[in-house]
Each structure stands twice: as C-alpha cells, then as structure tokens.
Amino acid sequence: MLPPTLPFQRETLLRQLDPPQLWDLIVIGGGATGLGVALDGLSRGYKTLLLERYDFAKGTSSRSTKLVHGGVRYLAQGDIGLVREALHERGLLLRNAPHLCHNQSFIIPSYTWWGGPFYTLGLKLYDLLAGRLSLGPTTRIGPTETLRRLGNLRPTGLRGGVVYHDGQFDDARLAVNLAQTGIELGGTLLNHVAVTGLLKDNNGQIAGVRAMNQETGQAYEVRARTVVNATGVFVDAIRQLDAPGTAPLVRPSQGIHLVLDKSFLPGPDALMIPKTDDGRVLFAVPWHGRVVVGTTDTPLSETREEPRALEAEIDFVLRTAGRYLARPPRREDVLSLFAGLRPLAAPQHGSAQTKEISRSHKILVSDTGLLTITGGKWTTYRPMGQDVVDRLIALGKLPAAPSRTATLPIHGAQPTTDYRSHLYVYGSDQPALLTLIRQQPALGEKLDPQLEFTRAEVVWAARYEMARTVEDVLARRVRLLFLDARAARRVAPTVAALLAQELGFDANWQQRQVAEFEQVARQYLPRIS
C-alpha cells in the first residue's frame, strides 16, 4: 500500500501561507541547521514554518565528506568539548536514522615507526570520548593486513595501519527525510520559496517575513512571533535585510571532493590520510559504490550559489591521494567533483587560518529580535536546533516546552544491513516504492542501462520527496550528479520528461530544465587538457 500523497503535496503546503496566520516560528534556510531548528520547534509543539529559496540541502549541506563524526582533527586541535558533543550526536543519529547512517571502518596507514603507536593512542581517546555510543575499538594491524583491506595502497615502506570507526551517511537524503519528518509532525516546510524581506512591528521588532514562490512569483507576507536566520554561508545577506551595513559574521571556506570509481578503494574500509600539506586530513570513503576523496580548505572572499572547484584544489587532492595509492588517480578518472562552502565564523582579530577557526556554532540575536545561527556541522545539527529554540524560550518569545528530538525517529528509519540494492536509502519507504514498480512495470526501467537508478525513483521524488526540478532529483534525491556527472547529463532529458508528466509542466519547461541542468552539471567535471 502506497503512503498518502496529501501530506507532501506542494499545493497543500502553500495554502498554509494564505490566508495569513500567526506562526510561532519561521525558519529561513533548508539546510542541516534550518531543518534542525524547525524539527526541534515542531517536536515541542510550536507552529513552525520553514522557507528555503532553492531546495533542501542545495548548498553546503549536500556537499559534505559524507561523515557523521566527532572530528579527528578537532581532537588534535584540543577542542575536546566539540568532539565529545559530536560523538554523542553521532550515536543518536545512527539510532534515529539507521537507514542512512552506518558504522564505517577507517584505516590510517603508517609509514614511520612512530605512526602506529601515536595514532592508536590519540584514537583510543576518541573511543573513550564516545562512551557507550562508541562504534568499535581502535586496533592496530600489520602491513599485510593493511594492504589486503585497502587493496590499492602504496606498499613501499608501509609499517602497518590503525583501524578506527566513525559514522557515514547520505547528507542530502537525510535533509529530505528531515523535511518529511517535519511535515509529518504538522509543520509547513517549503522549498523553492524565497524570503525577500523582513516584516517589523511599530516598535521596529521582527514580526515576520516577505516571501515569494520561485515557481509562480506569488508574494506572501507571513507573520510570526520569532524568525530564525539559518541560511549557512548566506546568513549575512539576511542580516543585511534586518540592518543594512552590519558587519559580517561568516568567513566562507571552500572544500572540494572528487568522486572516483570503486576500483581505487576496492574494499569496504575507508582511508584516512592524517596530515596533508595544508595541515588537514584527507579521506577516501566508499559511498554508493564509488569513492569520495577530500577535502580542501580554501578561504574565499565571497559566497556563491554554485561554488566551483579551483584548479589548484583539484590538483592538491589528486596529488595527495596519489602519494598513498598504488594506482594514483588522474583527472580522467574523476567521475564527478563538487565544491561546498563552510559557514565558518569570521575572526574578530588577526587573520586566523580557516582550518583553525572553531566549528562550534554561534547564536546572535539582533536588536530587532532576529536570531541568527552560524557555524557548526552536519553531525551536530540536532543540538544546534535545540540551542536555538532554547534561546528563544529564554528570551521569552516562546513558551517553555521540552525538546523531543534526541529520541525522535527520522522519516524512513529502519535498521539496514543489506546494502546490495541502492534502494536501502529509502528505509521504510522501500516496500511502497517497490509496490509502485509492480503497479507500473515501465517505471522499473533504468534511467540508463549502465546505472542502478530507475524511473520510479524520479516519480517517487516528485510525489513524496518534494522534488521540483531535474537538479532536485539528480543532485539530491538519487545523487547521480555527485556520483557520475557525465551519466547525469545523459539522463537529464528522461528525468525532465518524467517530472513534467508528474507535475503537469509543458515541453518548454522540459527544455529549460535540461538546459539549466546542463549548465550546472558542467561544473561537476574537471577540465582535462
């Protein structure tokens, strides 16, 4: 039996904006932070509206290293509090979204006599900080076992490896599931609706937002007791709407990832390179049958809606990975590359390197009552949301009520151990998706003979996961743009046709969608000389 379509129909959600009503909480931004705030508010019973200009997790929140982790490098920097909180949240997330988050083993190869003991000692502390939510003990293995498990590691000089455990997940699919959870709790969460201005009362206090449906151009004035700015790297743009000329809170830092064929890391273990030329760590992580390699840390002076990988960043990742892999990757081997901007807190004094800026989140309340949250990371999205709502309660803007998100199952939650089918990410929705295919066998056809994804997943994304564009589907529902950009370009016309039929759009819309997606997809492939 298929789930009812009504709760996720866009028209139903849009009707909540007109006629006007008073909301308890309006959240601007549909990334990890905004979704965390909205879900926390809904868990306490507040009437909550979330507005996202583009799509859920369109920005930074779909461009992570795909890790739910405490942060090994933050441990090295001595940020014990952040690591302890993140490790606790890692454990909760694996419980609350077990269909998307799982235990991933990592191996640190050692080419020095001291490397094994040094990293083992540090990671034993990592295990200790995780407490009862530990995913497994750190162990040392010999060079033969290290080569066997990693498969494509450079053998010369190898002295062994250190195995530790962390979490891995699908970031954009988690964002979609969080949005679904929010709607199931009675919230109104809308993508492709932009906040264009802020409403204020006679005393100059924030009283709501002006918004516009990006598809139709319809404008809304929506009033609320509280408004939260959770727009990640774009928080300063919203703050300018509140108080033009205000000093920036965020200094963007770009990180990129390359996606390679599974043959570059054929085993189930991930590779962690503990020290790169820029003082960071580099990961090579199995993900959806491919390997994600990254990341970089490049300070930027401006934010972009669609950040682009710099040539120097691509070369850096390939060069660093090539030092450790027996078959080093080349540009021609890159299936896709993606860049994301971290919303790091701008330093108040001096010019601290971005890798040294704390990833702890920060909350600021303006004189007009606009609450802005910045910083943080995916793993701690839940306590970030809780902290925001706690602050609103402390300010007297919302009545006191306890948060329930620590034990709240996320839409699709279902323990998963069989990863042979890529449909595992649908969790408890998987039987209904398979029923759809049985009812309409044509939807069981693959989008491309070389790919695992089916036509049914496009229809499902439109009906039940609020996808509105080809990019919504191929970037954040089936993740193909991130896994194989060339393949995504090939199937874009098929996806556009399926979406147009499902959503009631015409042939001109299809053509525009394909052209717009082609423009975006070009940025996911490196230039090859």
Q: Walk me through the domains of the chain, giving residue ranges and CATH numbers.
A: 6-60+172-249+355-407 (3.50.50.60), 422-524 (1.10.8)
Q: What is the pLDDT of residue 429?
A: 95
* Longest Cα separation, the chain: 73
Distance CA 373, CA 361 (A): 7
Cβ atoms within 10 Å of 337's Cβ, excluding its own: 23
- 313-317's contacts with Cβ under 8 Å and 24+ in sequence apart are 313/254, 313/256, 313/339, 314/256, 314/258, 314/526, 316/276, 316/277, 316/278, 317/256, 317/257, 317/258, 317/282, 317/293
Whether the CB-CB separation of 259 and 52 falls below 8 Å is answered with: no
- Alpha-carbon distance of 172 to 341, in angstroms, equals 15
pLDDT tens for each residue of the chain, 529 residues long: 334 444 478 999 999 998 888 999 999 999 999 999 999 999 999 999 999 999 999 999 999 999 998 877 777 676 787 888 899 999 999 999 999 999 999 999 999 989 889 999 889 988 898 888 999 999 999 999 999 999 999 999 999 999 999 999 999 999 999 999 999 999 999 999 999 999 999 999 999 999 999 999 999 999 999 999 999 999 999 999 999 999 988 888 999 999 999 999 999 999 999 888 777 789 999 999 999 999 898 988 888 888 999 999 999 999 999 999 999 999 999 999 999 998 876 655 444 454 444 457 899 999 999 999 998 889 999 999 999 999 999 999 999 999 999 999 999 999 887 788 899 999 999 999 999 999 999 999 999 999 999 999 999 999 999 999 999 999 999 999 999 999 999 999 999 999 999 999 999 999 999 999 999 999 999 887 6
Q: Please choose, from the candidates 467, 42, 49, 59, the residue with its C-alpha nearest in 3D space to the C-alpha of residue 235.
A: 59
**69, 379 in Cβ contact below 8 A?**
yes
CA 80 to chain centre: 24
**Of 279, 251, 256, 283, which Cα lies nearest the Cα of 375?**
251
pLDDT computed for residue 343 by the predictor: 81
| DSSP-derived secondary structure letter, 146 | H
Task: Tell me the C-alpha distance between 48 and 366, whole Å.
Answer: 21
**Cis peptide preceding 144, ω within 30 of 0:** no
